[in-house]
C-alpha cells in the first residue's frame, strides 16, 4: 500500500513541479488565441478554463484508464510505475505540447502539425492514421457503454437498444456547436467521474483490501512479457496518441495560453490518478493477478460492475457506473468530432456551414455503426497499438518543433525514443502483428528506436535533412505569427 501512496504523491507533485518545467520549455505568452481571433460559433468557441479542463479530462479519459489499468494490473503492481512515470514524463508532456502547438497554429489538428514539421509524406500518413484511430475509438467506446447501460436497465432495454441511443447521441454531439451539448453536460459527467474514482479508491482503502507493494517481477498468470505488452495495454492512463487528437479541440476554445498547463497537463495527471486507482482496485479486489485475469475473462465491463457493486453497494454502484459510462461516451463523441475536423482540415472544408458539417458527420457515423458489429476486443487490440504509434509520431513532431525554436528538445526526444521501441517491438511480436519471437523482436525494436533518434539528430540537430516538405506549412503559419 505504501507504493500506491508514493505513486499517488508523485503524480500530484509532478503536476506542480514537472508541468512547470514543461511549460517553461514551451514558453506561453499573452498573444491572442484562436478561440478569440477565429471565433465561428461551432468549433472555435471561447469557454472558461474550469469547463475546458472537465471537457479535456472526459475527452481523453474514456474506458482507457479503467479497462487499460485493469488489463495492466494483470502484471502486478509494477504497472503503478508505468502509470506514474508514463503520465509525468510522457503523457503530460505529450498532451501539453500538442495542445499548445495547436494553439500556435490556428487550432490545427495533429496531422497538420505533423506535416508542418515532419514533411508532406508524414502529413498524409497521419491524416489517414488519425481518422482510422478516431473511428476505432468511436467504435470501441460505443459497445462498452451500451453493455454497461444494459446492466442497469430492464432486460427489454438490451445492449442493441442502447447502442442505437449512443450512436444517435454521437451524431448530435459531433454535429452541433461544441458549447451546446459537450460544453453543457460535461461538468455533470465530470462530477460523476470524480465521485466514482474517490468512491472506488476510498472503499479499497477503508474496507481493508490489501494493495501489494511494487515488484519488478512479472506476475502475469499467463507469463505474458511486461515489455512491451504492458506499455501498450495501459495507454490512456499513461501516454496516449488519442490525446493528440483531442487537445486541438480545446486549443480552439482556450482564451489564454497560460491556462494550457492546467488544462492539458492537468487533465493528463487527473487521468493518471484514475488509472492508478483502478489498477490498485483490480489487484486488491481479486486478491492478486490470477483472480483478476480470471474475472477479466468474463469481460471488462462485468469486472467494473462487480467492483463497483461490491465496494459501494447498489446506490454507490449506480453513481460509479454512471461515471464509467460517461468516460467512454465523452471520449467517443469527441473522437468523431476530431475525425470530422481532421477531414475538414484535410479537404479545406469550412465547418461553419451546416451542410459541410453534415457532409462529414454522416459518413463517419455510418462507418462507425458498421464496425460495431465486429468483435470489440479485436478492434481494441488494434486501437492499442495504433494509439501508441500515434503518440510516438506526435512526440517526434514536437521534438522537431522544439529544436527549430531552440528549446530544450530532450524533454520530448527521450519519451519519443522510448515509445518508438515500444510500438515497433509490440507489432513485431503481437498476435495481431507478425508474431515474431522476443529474441528477434526485442533487438529490432531497439534498433528501430535508435534509427528514429538518429534520423532526428541527423536531419534536425546536424541540419543534414531537407525541410522542403514543411516549408509551405511553415510559411502559412509564419504569416499568422505562430511563434
The most distant pair of C-alpha atoms in the chain lies apart, rounded to whole Å, by: 65
Kindly state whether residue 85 falls inside one of the protein's structural domains.
yes
What pLDDT, in 10s, does the model give residues 101-133?
999 999 999 999 999 999 999 999 999 988 988
Q: Residue 28 sits in which domain range?
A: 2-388
Give the single-character DSSP code of 408: -
Is a pLDDT exceeding 50 seen at residue 473?
A: no
Select from 335, 326, 470 the least CA-distant residue to 400.
470
What pLDDT, in 10s, does the model give residues 391-425?
999 999 999 999 999 999 999 999 999 999 999 99
Number of other residues whose CB lies within 10 A of the CB of residue 155:
6
- What's the pLDDT at 379? 63
- Which segments of 385-467 are extended strands (E)? none
Kindly state whether residue 450 falls inside one of the protein's structural domains.
no
Residue pair 346/126 in contact (Cβ under 8 Å)? The answer is no
Select from 170, 146, 168 the least CA-distant residue to 159.
146
Q: What does the alpha-carbon distance between residue 240 and residue 95 come to, in Å, rounded to a whole number? A: 9
- What's the pLDDT at 67? 85
**Mean pLDDT, rounded, for 27-51:** 95
Q: How many domains, in total, are found in the chain?
A: 1
**Mean pLDDT, rounded, for 290-307:** 88
**Mean pLDDT, rounded, for 359-379:** 83
Q: What does the alpha-carbon distance between residue 86 and residue 238 come to, in Å, rounded to a whole number? A: 5
Q: Output the CA angle 60-65-68, nearest 5 degrees.
A: 125
What pLDDT, in 10s, does the model give residues 151-197?
778 888 988 899 999 999 999 999 899 988 888 887 777 777 777 88
pTM for this one? 0.91
Number of other residues whose CB lies within 10 A of the CB of residue 160:
11
Kindly state whether residue 376 falls inside one of the protein's structural domains.
yes
Which CA distances in Å does 306 have to 152, 192, 301?
12, 18, 9
Is a pLDDT exceeding 50 seen at residue 275?
A: yes
Kindly state whether residue 11 falls inside one of the protein's structural domains.
yes
Is a pLDDT exceeding 70 seen at residue 380?
A: no
Residue pair 106/34 in contact (Cβ under 8 Å)? The answer is yes
Contacting residues for 36 by C-beta, under 8 A, at least 6 apart: 46, 255
Kindly state whether residue 204 falls inside one of the protein's structural domains.
yes
Residue pair 316/310 in contact (Cβ under 8 Å)? The answer is no
Dig out the grid coordinates for 176 from the structure.
452541433
Which CA distances in Å does 283 have to 75, 213, 295?
9, 11, 11
**Mean pLDDT, rounded, for 358-372:** 91
- Mean pLDDT rounded to a whole number for the chain: 89
Give the alpha-carbon dihedral of 229, 231, 233, 237, to 10 degrees. Answer: 170
Residue pair 150/158 in contact (Cβ under 8 Å)? The answer is yes
Kindly state whether residue 344 falls inside one of the protein's structural domains.
yes
- What's the pLDDT at 469? 41
Confidence of residue 40 (pLDDT cuts 50, 70, 90): very high
Write the burial class of residue 338 (CB in 10 Å: 0-12 exposed, 13-18 middle, 19+ buried).
buried
Which CA distances in Å does 419 have to 112, 425, 426, 481?
21, 10, 10, 31
- What's the pLDDT at 471? 40
Kindly state whether residue 306 falls inside one of the protein's structural domains.
yes
Confidence of residue 377 (pLDDT cuts 50, 70, 90): low
453 backbone φψ class: left, alpha, beta (φ>0; ψ -120 to 50): alpha
pLDDT higher for 321 or 232? 232
Is a pLDDT exceeding 90 seen at residue 320?
A: no
Is a pLDDT exceeding 70 seen at residue 376?
A: no
Q: What does the alpha-carbon distance between residue 131 and residue 113 come to, in Å, rounded to a whole number? A: 15
Return the CATH number at 367.
Answer: 1.20.1740.10
Is a pLDDT exceeding 70 seen at residue 381?
A: no
Kindly state whether residue 427 falls inside one of the protein's structural domains.
no
Amino acid at each position: 500500500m505504501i507504493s500506491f501512496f508514493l505513486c499517488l504523491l508523485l503524480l500530484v507533485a509532478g503536476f506542480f513541479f514537472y508541468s512547470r518545467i514543461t511549460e517553461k520549455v514551451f514558453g506561453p505568452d499573452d498573444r491572442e488565441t484562436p478561440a478569440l481571433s477565429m471565433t465561428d460559433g461551432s468549433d472555435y468557441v471561447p469557454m472558461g478554463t474550469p469547463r475546458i479542463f472537465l471537457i479535456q479530462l472526459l475527452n481523453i479519459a474514456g474506458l482507457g484508464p479503467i479497462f487499460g489499468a485493469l488489463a495492466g494490473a494483470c502484471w502486478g503492481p509494477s504497472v503503478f510505475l508505468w502509470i506514474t512515470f508514463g503520465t509525468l514524463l510522457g503523457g503530460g508532456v505529450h498532451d501539453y505540447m500538442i495542445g499548445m502547438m495547436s494553439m500556435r497554429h490556428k487550432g490545427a489538428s495533429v496531422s497538420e502539425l505533423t506535416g508542418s514539421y515532419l514533411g508532406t509524406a508524414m502529413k498524409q500518413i497521419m491524416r489517414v492514421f488519425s481518422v482510422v484511430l478516431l473511428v476505432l475509438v468511436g467504435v470501441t467506446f460505443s459497445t462498452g457503454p451500451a453493455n454497461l447501460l444494459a446492466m442497469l436497465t430492464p432486460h427489454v432495454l438490451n445492449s442493441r437498444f442502447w447502442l442505437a441511443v449512443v450512436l444517435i447521441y454521437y451524431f448530435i454531439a459531433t454535429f452541433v456547436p461544441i458549447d451546446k451539448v459537450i460544453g453543457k453536460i460535461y461538468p455533470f459527467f465530470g462530477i460523476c467521474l470524480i465521485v466514482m474514482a474517490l468512491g472506488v479508491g476510498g472503499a479499497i482503502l477503508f474496507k481493508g483490501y490489501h494493495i501489494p507493494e511494487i515488484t519488478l517481477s512479472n506476475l502475469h498468470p499467463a507469463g505474458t512479457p511486461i515489455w512491451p505488452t504492458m506499455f501498450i495495454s495501459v495507454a490512456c492512463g499513461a501516454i496516449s496518441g488519442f490525446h493528440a487528437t483531442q487537445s486541438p479541440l480545446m486549443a480552439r476554445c482556450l482564451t489564454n495560453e497560460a491556462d494550457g498547463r492546467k488544462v492539458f497537463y492537468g487533465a493528463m495527471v487527473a487521468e493518471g490518478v484514475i488509472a492508478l486507482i483502478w489498477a490498485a482496485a483490480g489487484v486488491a479486489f481479486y486478491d492478486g493477478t490470477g483472480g483478476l485475469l480470471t474475472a477479466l475473462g468474463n469481460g471488462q465491463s462485468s469486472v467494473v460492475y462487480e467492483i463497483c457493486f461490491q465496494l459501494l453497494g447498489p446506490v454507490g454502484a449506480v453513481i460509479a457506473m454512471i461515471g464509467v459510462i460517461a468516460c467512454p461516451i465523452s471520449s467517443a463523441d469527441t473522437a468523431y468530432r476530431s475525425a470530422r475536423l481532421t477531414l475538414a482540415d484535410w479537404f479545406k472544408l469550412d465547418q461553419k456551414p451546416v451542410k459541410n458539417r453534415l457532409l462529414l458527420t454522416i459518413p463517419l457515423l455510418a462507418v462507425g455503426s458498421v464496425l460495431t458489429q465486429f468483435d470489440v476486443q479485436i478492434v481494441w487490440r488494434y486501437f492499442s497499438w495504433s494509439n501508441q504509434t500515434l503518440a510516438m509520431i506526435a512526440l517526434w513532431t514536437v521534438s522537431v518543433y522544439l529544436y527549430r525554436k531552440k528549446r530544450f528538445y530532450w524533454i520530448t526526444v527521450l519519451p519519443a525514443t522510448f515509445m518508438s521501441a515500444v510500438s515497433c517491438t509490440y507489432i513485431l511480436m503481437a498476435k495481431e502483428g507478425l508474431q515474431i519471437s522476443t529474441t528477434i523482436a526485442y533487438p529490432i525494436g531497439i534498433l528501430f528506436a535508435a534509427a528514429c533518434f538518429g534520423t532526428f539528430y541527423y536531419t534536425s540537430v546536424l541540419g543534414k535533412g531537407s525541410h522542403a516538405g514543411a516549408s509551405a506549412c511553415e510559411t502559412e503559419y509564419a504569416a499568422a505569427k505562430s511563434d
